[in-house]
Amino acid sequence: MSGQDADIIIRRMRHSDAQIIADEEVRQGWNATPDKYLMRLKDQEAGLCVALVAEYQGNPAGYINVYPDAKGGAFDGKGYPEIVDFGVLEKYRRRGIGTRLMEAAEAVAARYADTVYLGVGLHSGYGSAQRLYVRRGYVPDGSGVWYGNQPCEAYGPVPANDDSLILFLSKKLTRRGDSAEKAPVKSPGSVRRAGKEDAPAVAELAAALWPEHTAEEMAEELTSLLAEASCAVFLAEADGRTIAFAQSQLRHDYVEGTASSPVGYLEGIYVAEAYRRQGIAGALLRACEGWAREAGCREFASDCELTNEESLRFHLGLGFTEANRIICFVKPL
């Protein structure tokens, strides 16, 4: 990861962001107020959207929103998520922030469908966004230009070349490592808690997740962990075998970014490659969260390595927000 990338954090929008972003846009000469961002926050709290903000060196620098069940426009009724209201503050542009926001938004959208769409304005103020969307593989839907929520008639008058004059674009979502042929799972959301007898099967997957350990070592560790009340392992099965697992534990020491104790912690999650992108990881995570909630936890946390961009997108897509970035040190005594 470059130093510039390390300066960028993608997280959920907070109430304090609304005024900061609006003030910066006013300095840019825009007629901006916090109302639009407060509306996004209200939608997020209602479960209607995922509102993301990019921080650059600790300052809100850009924003993007994903509506998983969007209504209206060229893709109405197709069940595709829509990316809405994407922007990077002028003084933070040309630092890769827009690309990082788009990556995070597409990761969120991929949790709901294999296609995402958006509308882009046609006047010059949207020039940078237009170029970015083309580079990222977005293509016009073929319905022509829209004004408001209605397609414009061919050869007919256009009311104005303002923010309401848009072209709809869509993109097929793919992820590195996806197989062209996926093994279907009849009930990807159906998971169960593992018992000691499941340790060998789970260990095979755990060794794939943590290749520095053998399956035998993982089986021994899992057998011990499954006997502890502070640990829970959930698994998913298909075709007569275990195809995914998630391990969670209760942590009573301080967990970065939290304000309560104990905290439920996702220690590891893995889905066999042929069964990915079918909602299995989300179902496993919900099972872990439910277990932690029943154990009295008010917060649930996780981590990934600084360079693991795929894991970062995975966590953001499942509702986590980034708490901090740290480098750990050790020395012999």
Residue 173: predicted pLDDT: 87
- 136 and 53 assigned to the same domain: yes
Residue 190: predicted pLDDT: 66
Last residue of a domain, one of 172, 206, 237: 172
> Domain limits at 284?
192-302
- 134 and 272 assigned to the same domain: no
Name the residue with tokens 């304000």.
259
- 125 and 196 assigned to the same domain: no
Last residue of a domain, one of 172, 202, 218: 172
Decide if pLDDT at 5 tops 60. Answer: no
- 24 and 145 assigned to the same domain: yes
Is residue 197 in a domain?
yes
Adjacent-strand bridge partners of 219:
none
Average pLDDT over residues 74-83: 90
Residue 185: predicted pLDDT: 47
- 212 and 64 assigned to the same domain: no
Say which CATH number the domain at 289 has. 3.40.630.30
Residue 311: predicted pLDDT: 87
Is residue 43 in a domain?
yes
Is residue 136 in a domain?
yes
- 28 and 119 assigned to the same domain: yes
Residue 174: predicted pLDDT: 61
Last residue of a domain, one of 123, 144, 172: 172
What are the two backbone dihedrals, phi and then psi, of residue 138, each rounded to the nearest 5 degrees? -80, 140
Helix axes of 309-317 and 97-109: crossing angle, nearest 10 degrees: 60
Cis check: omega of the bond before 262, within 30 degrees of 0: yes
Is residue 10 in a domain?
yes
- 207 and 66 assigned to the same domain: no
Sequential DSSP letters for 315-328: HHHTT---------
- 141 and 221 assigned to the same domain: no
- 199 and 166 assigned to the same domain: no
Residue 149: predicted pLDDT: 87
- 161 and 225 assigned to the same domain: no
Lowest mean pLDDT among 133-147, 286-300, 316-330: 316-330
Structure confidence by residue, pLDDT tens digits, 196-250:
999 999 999 999 998 888 889 999 999 999 999 999 999 998 877 899 999 999 9
Structure confidence by residue, pLDDT tens digits, 243-298:
999 999 999 999 988 899 999 999 999 998 888 888 889 889 999 999 999 999 99
Cα dist from 284 to 94, 131, 239, 244, whole Å: 38, 38, 18, 8
- 164 and 199 assigned to the same domain: no
How many Cβ atoms sit within 10 Å of the Cβ of residue 138? 22
Is residue 110 in a domain?
yes
Is residue 141 in a domain?
yes
Residue 195 tokens, joined: 């018992």
What are the two backbone dihedrals, phi and then psi, of residue 150, each rounded to the nearest 5 degrees? -130, 140
- 42 and 155 assigned to the same domain: yes
Is residue 247 in a domain?
yes
Decide if pLDDT at 1 tops 50. Answer: no
Per the structure, how many domains does the chain have? 2
Contacts of 304 (CB under 8 A, 6+ apart): 311, 312, 315
Is residue 317 in a domain?
no
User: pTM for the whole thing?
Assistant: 0.56
